[in-house]
Amino acid sequence: MGVKKYRNGFRLTIHKDALDEPLHWRRPRMIFVNSMSDLFHEKLSFAFIHRCFQLMEKANIHIYQVLTKRPERMLEYSRLYEKIADHIWMGATVESPVYKRRIDLLRKVDASTRFVSFEPLLGSLGELDLTEISWAIVGGESGPNHRPVDGEWIREIRDQCIEQNVSFFFKQWGGPTPRSGGRILDGRTWDEYPGSRTPFEPLLTSTTQ
């Protein structure tokens, strides 16, 4: 990629020197934590994960989105430590029906805001129980080998979000590049966020790889 932090490819790499960066950002931001990784990777100790959360609690002018494919570890962490601070949003990825169980695990995490990322959406998910879920993000896959998303899969999730009073954000149709298909669904964009707090300008960061 030509980026120093990704010199080891997809091998787990810890960037301890980057941990305090949010303390120096004076303007509030929405931070997608580990956009290219997973804070709850099996090779990361809970001690190191807790250091990250302590930093997020200290730099509390920002909103943090913590997304994982390992909600069982997220739940274990939340049970070992105190309740997650309100400005830290906890989420799980659900891309196909086989992973719907992740929503049940996420629901047990002691956090004020829980969200599900249905991205890349790879099939119809059928009936969803979004109880105690604040936000749903939906997006198609992008890249040279992307698998196309069906609009009915997206509408199925959107309609259930409306029925269950869950904020709905449609990110992209996907294609060869993230912007290939745009992000218009049924004649409009869907940019809902959880709660009444106005989202800040998004910033994607990675503290570990």
* 76-127 pLDDT per residue, tens: 999 999 889 999 999 999 999 999 999 999 999 999 999 999 999 999 999 9
Per domain, the residue ranges of the chain are 28-204
pLDDT digits (tens, 9 = 90+) for 85-97: 999 999 999 999 9
Could you tell me which of 40, 126, 45, 44 has the C-alpha nearest to residue 75?
A: 40
Could you tell me which of 117, 58, 119, 108 has the C-alpha nearest to residue 88?
A: 58
pLDDT digits (tens, 9 = 90+) for 143-175: 999 999 999 999 999 999 999 999 999 999 999
Provide the pLDDT for residue 64.
Answer: 97
Please, which pLDDT band fits residue 1 given cuts at 50, 70 and 90?
Answer: low
State pTM to two decimals.
Answer: 0.89
Structure tokens at 48: 């190191």
The DSSP-derived string for 45-110 is -HHHHHHHHHHHHHSTTSEEEEEES-HHHHHHHHHHSSPPPTTEEEEEE--SGGGTHHHHHHHTS-
Peptide bond into 144 cis (omega under 30): no
Q: Residue 23 gets which letter from DSSP?
A: G
